[in-house]
Amino acid sequence: MAGALTVVVGCMFAGKSEELLRKMKRAEIAGLRPLLVKPALDTRGTAERICSRDGRCMDAISVRSAADILAAADPYDIVGIDEAQFFDDGIVAAVRMLYAAGKRVIIAGLDTDYRDEPFGSTHFLMAIPEADVVKLRAVCMRCRGEATRTFRKSRNDAKVVIGDADTYEALCYTCHVAAVQQRDAEP
Ligand code: ZN
């Protein structure tokens, strides 16, 4: 029997990890065995906890590659993947295999980077025919409207700059356009 697949996307500060953890906890309460993984950016194979900004936490393991998710997933019923945009492109085949093996898979990740370009393989995960896509929005940190974009405060143009509220803001379209103009006009 095939599994189930949910992909939770949106800009930073939209509550993606909260939604992932909420779904994982709910499945755990129902008696399913959960495995939560995140990409290892500088550590390998370590036990960790993933905590959302609202203070909810769950044990997780960090893995170096999408293949490592498959290797770890066998005894579990439900597999949660956080920060999916940082995995190698093997993540798409791995998720398809988990689904085919009857696992429930819940993925959280950024669909676009700070330039509004596709981030990692998230958009290919969203395109899997059986995926339920949940697209979340944050609150615009300038006008309190609906934020859809991740604004990088610095002019560092590396694709990946790890940071939180010190480095990024969630902004609506209009505030984002203004913020980019203002940032890039600074000497
Ligand atoms: Zn705004």
Kindly report, residue by residue over 19-58, the tens digit of the pLDDT.
999 999 999 999 999 999 999 875 444 567 888 777 778 8
Note if 83 is an active site residue.
yes
d(CA 7, CA 29): 21
Q: What pLDDT, on the 0 to 100 scale, is given for residue 54?
A: 76
**CA diameter of the chain:** 59
Which chain residues have CB less than 5 Å from ligand 1, an ion? 140, 142-143, 145, 172, 175
Supply the pLDDT for residue 45.
Answer: 47
DSSP 3-state percent helix, strand, coil across the chain (nearest 5): 30, 30, 45
**pLDDT for 151:** 96
**Residue 71: its H or E element:** helix 66-73
Residues of the chain with pLDDT under 70: 42-47
Distance 168 CA to ligand 1 centre (A): 14
Residues 80/36, Cβ–Cβ less than 8 Å? yes
86 Cα to the center of ligand 1, angstroms? 27
What is residue 46's predicted lDDT score, i.e. its pLDDT?
A: 56
Q: Residue 145: its pLDDT value, please?
A: 98
Distance between Cα 146 and ligand 1 center (Å): 7
Q: Among 83, 117, 130, 146, which one carries the catalytic annotation? A: 83
Q: What is the pLDDT of residue 163?
A: 82
